[in-house]
Amino acid sequence: MRQDEADGELVLRALGGDEEAFAGLVARHRGRGIRFAMAMLGDASDAEEALQDAFVRAYRGLKGCREPDRFGAWFLRILVNRCRTRGARRRVGAMFVRDEAAMERAAAPRGEDPEWREEIERALARLDPMQREAFLLKHVEGMEYEEMARLTGARIPALKMRVKRACDHLKVLLREVDDVRVP
Amino acid sequence: MSESHDDPLIARVAGELRRPVPLSPDFDARVMAAVRRAPPRLPVRVWAWVREPRTVAVSPLGGLAMAAGVAALVLVGAWGSRPSAISHRPSAVRAAGTAPSVTFVFLAPQASSVALAGDFDGWDAARLPMRREGPGLWTVDVPLAPGRYQYAFVVDGRRFVPDPSAPRASGEDFGTPTSVVTVGGAARVAGGSL
């Protein structure tokens, strides 16, 4: 895969049966995907499985990618749905499962303050899943509400409300921790 | 409604969550193994099938019920303001009532409409519109009796595009290069690959 090869070209090559082209799409979109899935599901194994499942579904449904140049947005929609399904199946929200092996694997690049990261993950886990999803799409993925509405199928006022409530809740959960941590 | 865009705490949370999250070293390999196990859907099967060059052999007997042949053609070229792959691969001949039907496939992701025009329809770009079957994939079935035909693709109703992988017509009936497809006998037209 050439670095400058557009997603649309890779999609078309993959449709022609070129597995290397699809591998190029995996390499290009896995980073954002695992970041979102990890924040949604809170467990590295679950996140990887959701991401793998999303890639396989994307491959099988590649014909449905009507705008190949926007493969990333199309793929994120699939991933959001996989995370919803997986999250609902294991009743996300009560608490996140700690995967020690995954945590160890993830320790080095996870920033300089693992305790702060843990507090954030704990707070995220206490959010309503729809609020968590909206918060991540808006504040972490940097999406506009119009794009979020297309991706989630929710109306913009509802998305704004979810984001606001997520922020309010996170502030309550994290403010005290932050006050202690930051003099 | 406040969206907390400017709240420094929310900004710090978002910044932390934007940090890269590592994947298992074998993640890509596992995904591709799962992809290979996944049954490919129609477009992949179609593409895998049309990629194979094959012989066109139409029997005039037996009610022309035997399928026979493929013309494979690939076009990769510039399109509009940016280059994009355009590919025409070819032409399955299958059983039909009176004449074999040749399926033309054309890949033009930027096009809003594509039609097939040739000497078999009087170069009328309105008679054989191609159907969009997938992202940028256009097809049309044309019953063609055994013979030699000139054709071109008409993109967005105005641009005639020949197929560089197919033989070029010696005469240019339409003031622009056209391609040739032969149906019948033991004709063989092979194309390249994407």
List the 10-29 stretch of A: residues with Cβ below 8 A of B: 11-13, 15-19, 22-23, 26-27
Helix (H) or strand (E) holding B90: strand B87-94
pLDDT in tens, A97-123: 445 555 554 443 455 678 888 899 999
Instruction: Decide if A70 touches B, using CB distance below 8 A.
Output: no
- Please report which confidence band the pLDDT of residue B176 belongs to, taking 50, 70 and 90 as the band edges: low
pLDDT in tens, B102-117: 778 777 778 888 888 8
Name the residue with higher pLDDT: B27 or A181: B27
Is the pLDDT at B170 greater than 50, yes or no? yes
Q: What is the pLDDT of residue B148?
A: 83
Does residue B77 lie within any of the structural domains? yes
Nearest CA in chain B to A120: B13
Paired strand residues for B94: B101
Nearest CA in chain B to A39: B17
Domain that holds residue B119: 42-183
Name the residue with higher pLDDT: B185 or B91: B185
User: What contacts B105, CB < 8 A, 6 or more positions away?
Assistant: B46, B50, B87, B88, B89, B90, B91, B137, B138, B139
Q: What is the pLDDT of residue B192?
A: 27
Is the pLDDT at B77 greater than 50, yes or no? no
The structural domains of chain A, with segments of one domain joined by +, span: 1-106, 111-183
Does CATH number 3.10.129.10 belong to domain A1-106? no
Q: What is the pLDDT of residue B59?
A: 47
- Contact pairs from chain A to chain B, CB under 8 Å: 154
Is the pLDDT at A60 greater than 70, yes or no? yes
Does residue B22 lie within any of the structural domains? no
The mean pLDDT of B42-51, rounded to a whole number, is 46
Does residue B138 lie within any of the structural domains? yes
Name the residue with higher pLDDT: B39 or A7: A7
Q: What is the CATH number of the domain that holds B174?
A: 2.60.40.10
The alpha carbon dihedral of B142, B143, B144, B146 has a sign of positive
List the 108-167 stretch of A: residues with Cβ below 8 A of B: 108-111, 116-117, 120, 123, 136, 138-140, 160-161, 163-164, 167
pLDDT in tens, A119-144: 999 999 999 999 999 999 999 999 99
Q: What is the pLDDT of residue A112?
A: 65
Closest Cβ–Cβ partner in A12, A26, A110 for B135: A12
Q: What is the pLDDT of residue B91?
A: 36
Is the pLDDT at B119 greater than 60, yes or no? yes
Residue B161, Ramachandran bin (φ over 0: left; ψ between -120 and 50: alpha; else beta): beta
Decide if B34 and A55 are in contact by the 8 Å CB cutoff. yes
Is the pLDDT at B96 greater than 60, yes or no? no
The mean pLDDT of B169-178, rounded to a whole number, is 60
Please tell me the total count of domains within chain B. Answer: 1
Closest Cβ–Cβ partner in B1, B22, B47 for A106: B22
Least confident window among A40-49, B161-170, B183-192? B183-192
Q: What is the pLDDT of residue B110?
A: 81
Asked whether the domain spanning A111-183 has the same topology as the one spanning A1-106, the reply is no
List the 29-68 stretch of A: residues with Cβ below 8 A of B: 30-31, 34-35, 38-39, 44, 47-48, 51-52, 55-56, 59-63, 65-68
Does residue B172 lie within any of the structural domains? yes
ipTM of this predicted complex?
Answer: 0.82
The mean pLDDT of B112-139, rounded to a whole number, is 83
Nearest CA in chain A to B88: A16
Across chain A, mean pLDDT equals 85
Does residue B74 lie within any of the structural domains? yes
Looking at residue B153, the DSSP 8-state letter turns out to be: E
Does residue B5 lie within any of the structural domains? no
Decide if A136 and B136 are in contact by the 8 Å CB cutoff. no
Rounded distance between C-alpha atoms, residue A67 and residue B130, angstroms: 19
pLDDT in tens, A17-58: 888 999 999 999 999 999 999 999 988 999 999 999 999 999
Decide if A66 and B135 are in contact by the 8 Å CB cutoff. yes
Chain A hits for B9, CB-CB cut-off 8 Å, are 170-171, 174-175, 178
Percent of chain A with pLDDT over 90: 59
One CATH from 2.170.150.20, 1.10.3720.10, 1.10.10.10, 3.30.70.360 for A111-183: 1.10.10.10
Does residue B99 lie within any of the structural domains? yes
Q: What is the pLDDT of residue B133?
A: 78
User: What contacts B76, CB < 8 A, 6 or more positions away?
Assistant: B85, B86, B87, B194
Give me the half-sphere count of Cα atoms (radius 13 Å) on the Cβ side of residue A170. Answer: 28
- Please report which confidence band the pLDDT of residue A90 belongs to, taking 50, 70 and 90 as the band edges: low
Looking at residue B70, the DSSP 8-state letter turns out to be: B
Does residue B32 lie within any of the structural domains? no
